[in-house]
Structure 1
Amino acid sequence: MTAAVSTRKAWLMAARPQTLPAAAAPVLVGTGLAVRTGVFDPLPAVVALVGALLLQIGTNFANDYYDAVRGADTEDREGFTRVTAGGLIDPGAVKRAMYATFGLSILVGTYLVYVGGVPILVVGLASVVAGITYTGGPLPYGYRGLGDVFVFVFFGLVAVAGTYYVQAIGSVADPFPLWIPSGTIPAAAVVAALPAAGLSTAILVINNVRDRETDAASGKRTLAVALGYRASRIEWSALVGLAYAVPVVFFLDGYGPAALAPLVTAPLALGIGAVIWRRRDGDALNPALERTGQLLFAHSALFAAGLAVPAVV
């Protein structure tokens, strides 16, 4: 019985449920904007959420497996326990779980492809490939300083705009369109994606600042390794600052005071920033990483609500 519980806990650790709110956050924002503009469609919204969660879990499995087999996860690493490197789960089992999870995300995404057509097919497959090649494949881009770009684009811009698109498309086009019909990805959907993109990337920045020394020693050249501590902290501050500038832009553009709701999370952001600028050890940055994930979810939920509320009250 103990072994079974231990195995379940190990798989839970590999899936990293603490990262799932970050996957849900951009879907909330895209849906909030869809409600505001009158294109809300519950079924595509729910399927987009499930797909986003599966992509996040698959990427977590991939990172756990490939970082271990490449030697990036060592005993000196100060981050959360990795199950492959820690010997808690057989590497082959983690790899199979990775492919199974990505396969399930593709299966779930077939409905979104039916609704959204070729654009969603391309984006969905690109998301799966990006999740695997982040740390896997012959040229893992996460080892070449491009992880920040991947997170900003896929867990921010693509996730928010894609969520809006699969809800807006049903009212203007037949199933499986070959291209993006006019008006289904307005500029507001791209701008609204910037806070989620910035805060998602800020999570990765903390992770890479914490692991900078061990990553450099193992040949994993993240952007933090290339930039150094000071520039990485400036990057984190700029990304978080972006998240607070965008609601102000929406307010000034006529979306009403409710669009400013995310600003109530600013004290949490300032508290995390104080840690980031003073510390670089895991004892301080692991909690800061978790709090940034909480900040992302809270900011996104409030932003989504701020966008949606004027349309429903």
Structure 2
Amino acid sequence: MRTLPTAVSPVVAGTAIGWWQGRAPLHVVALCLVIALGLVIGVNFANDYSDGVRGTDDHRVGPQRLVGSGAADPTTVRNAAFGCFGVSGVAGLVAVAVTGHWWLLIVGVACVLAAWFYTGGRHPYGYLGLGEVFVFIFFGLVATAGTVYLLDGRVSAAGWAAAVAMGLIADGVLVTNNLRDIASDTAAGKRTLETRLGEPATRMLYAGLVAAVTVCGVLVAALSTWWALLCLLGVTLLVGAARIILGGARGMRLVATLRLTSMGELVFSAGLLAGTAIWAALG
């Protein structure tokens, strides 16, 4: 799945900040990874199921999905989603038991509900143009700041700046995905932010996200260690994707921008971690 980096990246970024703050136990990092992967894989299955049974994927431009293409039974895909949410839930329960931050169970329930109702239920918020808002909150703020909090019991200003950066890049993944699907989503009645904005404004939105991520990267470094500027290596990939998008790419050509955006997020977070490691080594 091309979106898996959106699960790993916030945990990597959160680990970098937790380490810089002074505490990053590896067993908690591992639990955070399981939580994030379970949620992201689960939401992919959930979207596959919900969009498939609604008929949204009947004329899909991108890679074929399991339900929409008829490759898998809808019930099987739905159960796979619930199974992934279950794995994430168990890991979350262990994480709060280990750290003592029991109130985070409420956040965990909210994450699962947000994952399911993105395209599931009678009034999915993904069909109302609110996908970017929830992705920013849960794939950025919650995932990154939540990791930092589980590791160290607090979130510094640098942690929040990193969380914003992760949320903005995750939004970039969604924007490029929905840009590709504007025609099919419009035909299916799926009113994403991109169908409302139209192609020209959506392309400019992506460029704006890249600019904002760059600012966040510099801000994280200013608030922690300047070695964290290594995160800007990820921005080079985002700039490459922006050039393709601003160049007017459509259809399957946008699959490359989805990959570049996902990898840009991963490299951005890895740059933060590498910068923190250098900072720690230099004492």
TM-score normalised per structure 1:
0.86
Q: Is the 8 A contact 1:194 1:242 kept in 2?
A: no
Select 2:66's aligned residue among 68, 73, 83. 83
Which amino acid is the alignment partner of residue 250 of structure 1? V
Q: Is the 8 A contact 1:71 1:218 kept in 2?
A: yes
Q: Secondary structure at the match of 2:145?
A: helix
Match for residue 167 of structure 2?
Answer: 197
Match for residue 279 of structure 1?
Answer: 248
Which amino acid is the alignment partner of residue 148 of structure 2? Y
Deviation at 1:39, TM superposition (A): 1.6
CA deviations on 1:149-192 (whole Å, 9 max, x unpaired) are: 111111111111000001113xxxxxxxxxxxxxx122221111
Match for residue 13 of structure 1?
Answer: none
Select 1:134's aligned residue among 94, 118, 122. 118
Q: Provide the rounded CA distance (Å) in 1 between the counterparts of 2:58 and 2:27.
A: 43
Q: CA RMSD in A?
A: 1.4
Q: Provide the rounded CA distance (Å) in 2 between the counterparts of 1:116 and 1:280.
A: 49
Q: Provide the rounded CA distance (Å) in 2 between the counterparts of 1:302 and 1:187.
A: 18
- Compared CA separation, residues 123 and 308, structure 1 to 2 (3 A): farther
Q: Is the 8 A contact 2:217 2:229 kept in 1?
A: yes
Q: Provide the rounded CA distance (Å) in 2 between the counterparts of 1:312 and 1:34.
A: 16
Match runs of 1:260-275 below 5 Å: 260-275=229-244
Match for residue 109 of structure 1?
Answer: 92
Match runs of 1:160-175 below 5 Å: 160-169=144-153
Q: Provide the rounded CA distance (Å) in 2 between the counterparts of 1:51 and 1:30.
A: 14
Are 2:27 and 1:58 equivalent residues in the alignment?
no
Q: Provide the rounded CA distance (Å) in 1 between the counterparts of 2:184 and 2:249.
A: 12
Q: Provide the rounded CA distance (Å) in 1 between the counterparts of 2:4 and 2:237.
A: 20
Q: Provide the rounded CA distance (Å) in 2 between the counterparts of 1:278 and 1:44.
A: 43
Which amino acid is the alignment partner of residue 231 of structure 1? A
Are 2:197 and 1:213 equivalent residues in the alignment?
no
Which amino acid is the alignment partner of residue 79 of structure 1? G
Match runs of 1:18-57 below 5 Å: 18-57=2-41
Q: Secondary structure at the match of 2:66?
A: coil
User: Which sections of structure 2, spanning at least 5 residues, go unmatched?
Assistant: none
Deviation at 1:268, TM superposition (A): 2.4
Deviation at 1:108, TM superposition (A): 1.4
CA deviations on 1:15-69 (whole Å, 9 max, x unpaired) are: x2x3212210010011001111112111111100111000001000000000011
Match for residue 158 of structure 1?
Answer: 142
Which amino acid is the alignment partner of residue 265 of structure 2? L
Are 2:82 and 1:99 equivalent residues in the alignment?
yes
**Identical columns (%):** 40
User: Which sections of structure 1, spanning at least 5 residues, go unmatched?
Assistant: 1-15, 170-183
- Compared CA separation, residues 257 and 113, structure 1 to 2 (3 A): closer
| Count of aligned pairs between the two proteins | 281
Point out the more displaced range, 267-276 or 47-56.
267-276
Q: Is the 8 A contact 1:25 1:196 kept in 2?
A: yes
- Compared CA separation, residues 138 and 27, structure 1 to 2 (3 A): same
Q: Is the 8 A contact 2:186 2:195 kept in 1?
A: yes
Match for residue 132 of structure 2?
Answer: 148
Deviation at 1:298, TM superposition (A): 0.8
Deviation at 1:303, TM superposition (A): 1.8
Q: Secondary structure at the match of 1:73?
A: helix
Q: Provide the rounded CA distance (Å) in 1 between the counterparts of 2:147 and 2:100.
A: 10
Q: Is the 8 A contact 2:172 2:261 kept in 1?
A: yes
Q: Is the 8 A contact 2:166 2:265 kept in 1?
A: yes
Are 2:271 and 1:297 equivalent residues in the alignment?
no
- Compared CA separation, residues 94 and 230, structure 1 to 2 (3 A): same
Q: Secondary structure at the match of 1:135?
A: coil
Deviation at 1:118, TM superposition (A): 3.6
